[in-house]
Structure 1
């Protein structure tokens, strides 16, 4: 009796099933993405030959896997020819534990009496890895040559303009003007008396316990170098999280206001 899989649960019915993990060339995956679901995309042939056949010794059977694309997939794009025959380069996965999972989302316009829920399933455990490589044919060589030509084309190229384009020169760009005005509005930072700066710092630390150097420079309006000299006397610099790169008063200078009843 089949049981309904609730959302968030994993169906492990096929956990013991062995599957192959195959890496295919990009041109194959692109054709498969465009192919309809009712056509044959290719044929896989698996032959087992003894590994020690050449030396006359009997050994563990060796997999000889070949793959051929179907004529329907080859004819999808007439302008670009792709190789038909391929070989699988097999590698083991003894030192890895890999699995294949699927996620099924119910249709949004479903009118079922019992609403379907999202299903998470384990389709199987990877028992073999393979890489699908094309055989050295003339079609494959032409495809690689075309790929080299496309990659050699620069992304940006100079283009000749037939029409006259009038470009008015700008003495100063807008972002430069805004930056200059901002600096003028802030004014030149002049060193104040040390006691006055410390009073401003103590007042700020009564509101918050931690500050970074940028905020303190904005509060005190002092040069950063001069401000750091004062901070090194009255503050500790945190090097660890959660208040990394922030200043706090040393214990002997701490005096936080208590809440009144």
Structure 2
């Protein structure tokens, strides 16, 4: 893979820039205003104090009354941060096109001040917040009065998944509790074939409700909580009747 180096234009690297976080509604209004003036920035310098920075929105943005008239800039420290602004031009013919590798990168400057833009409480701001609260309180669905029957929509009382579930229950039938001795006989017969079972397999064999089966298992079986037979049931030692697997060795012939 070939590596293509890009040149970084640092002609403007010494230029100081402000990084300002603005509310979402301001961003939307600025995008709507097009090429008109968004407002005016005022900087009041007082000797020995941090300058006071305010932003007054233009009259064109205030026409619909959905934005505060004035905003104040809250200063945040950037002493322990190094922030820069970089840019790269994109072809006007195709804004979504990938920028060619030969394109130069530009450093527009470094951030020397970081601000957060907050609205100054006034009538416009209160009206805006009231409208936002009322909009959020509106329900997504509303009941409407209908003066004539609607033939387009027909409610369905039995859905497919409900019908399938009912048919399955009827096919399986309600699991009735068998006599305890009968269940134990089925368990003993099962454990003669295998030493370990999980609860699902035993339920299939006995066809008993899970709670009833567990009550009987606790009397005659042990539940393994450790490997290699974790979560498996086996008969208690006093109920086991496994064949002995001891090897039989013939006595050596006598001389």
Name the TM-score, length of structure 1 as normaliser.
0.52
Task: Please give the secondary structure, in 2, of the residue aligned with 1:66.
Answer: strand
* 1:211-241 superposed Cα distances (whole Å, 9 cap, x missing partner): xx8xx84898467676997794386389xxx
Does the alignment pair 1:175 with 2:189? no
Please identify the structure whose Cα radius of gyration is greater: 2
**Aligned-pair Cα RMSD in Å:** 5.3
Does the CA-based 8 Å contact 2:224-2:231 persist in structure 1?
Answer: no
Residue 169 of structure 1 deviates from its aligned partner by 7.0
* 1:54-89 superposed Cα distances (whole Å, 9 cap, x missing partner): xxxxx4x312011122345x17xx544423322112
What does residue 236 of structure 1 align with? 227
Q: CA distance change for structure 1 residues 236 and 90 in 2, over 3 Å: closer, same or farther?
A: same
Matches of 2:134 and 2:165, distance apart in 1: 45
Does the alignment pair 1:134 with 2:119? yes
Does the alignment pair 1:46 with 2:43? yes
* 1:110-141 superposed Cα distances (whole Å, 9 cap, x missing partner): 9x9x9448999887776544332222332222
Task: Please give the secondary structure, in 1, of the residue aligned with 2:50.
Answer: strand
Does the alignment pair 1:193 with 2:187? yes
Structure 2 counterpart of 1:31, from 29, 52, 68 = 29
Matches of 2:167 and 2:69, distance apart in 1: 66
Flag structure 2 segments of 5+ consecutive residues without an equivalent.
178-182, 233-255
Stretch deviating more after TM superposition (135-144 or 168-177):
168-177
Does the CA-based 8 Å contact 1:200-1:220 persist in structure 2?
Answer: no
Map residues 18-97 of structure 1 onto 2, 5 A cutoff: 19-36=17-34, 38-50=35-47, 59=48, 61-72=49-60, 74=61, 78-93=63-78, 97=81
Residue 4 of structure 1 deviates from its aligned partner by 4.0
Matches of 2:166 and 2:138, distance apart in 1: 41
What does residue 131 of structure 2 align with? 146
Matches of 2:102 and 2:231, distance apart in 1: 52
Does the CA-based 8 Å contact 1:19-1:127 persist in structure 2?
Answer: yes
Q: CA distance change for structure 1 residues 183 and 92 in 2, over 3 Å: closer, same or farther?
A: farther
Task: Please give the secondary structure, in 2, of the residue aligned with 1:145.
Answer: helix
Task: Please give the secondary structure, in 2, of the residue aligned with 1:159.
Answer: coil
Q: CA distance change for structure 1 residues 233 and 136 in 2, over 3 Å: closer, same or farther?
A: closer
Does the CA-based 8 Å contact 1:16-1:125 persist in structure 2?
Answer: yes
Residue 33 of structure 1 deviates from its aligned partner by 2.9
Residue 99 of structure 1 deviates from its aligned partner by 4.7
Map residues 194-233 of structure 1 onto 2, 5 A cutoff: 196=190, 217=200, 221=204, 232-233=223-224
Question: For this pair of structures, how many residues does the alignment match?
Answer: 210
Residue 193 of structure 1 deviates from its aligned partner by 3.2
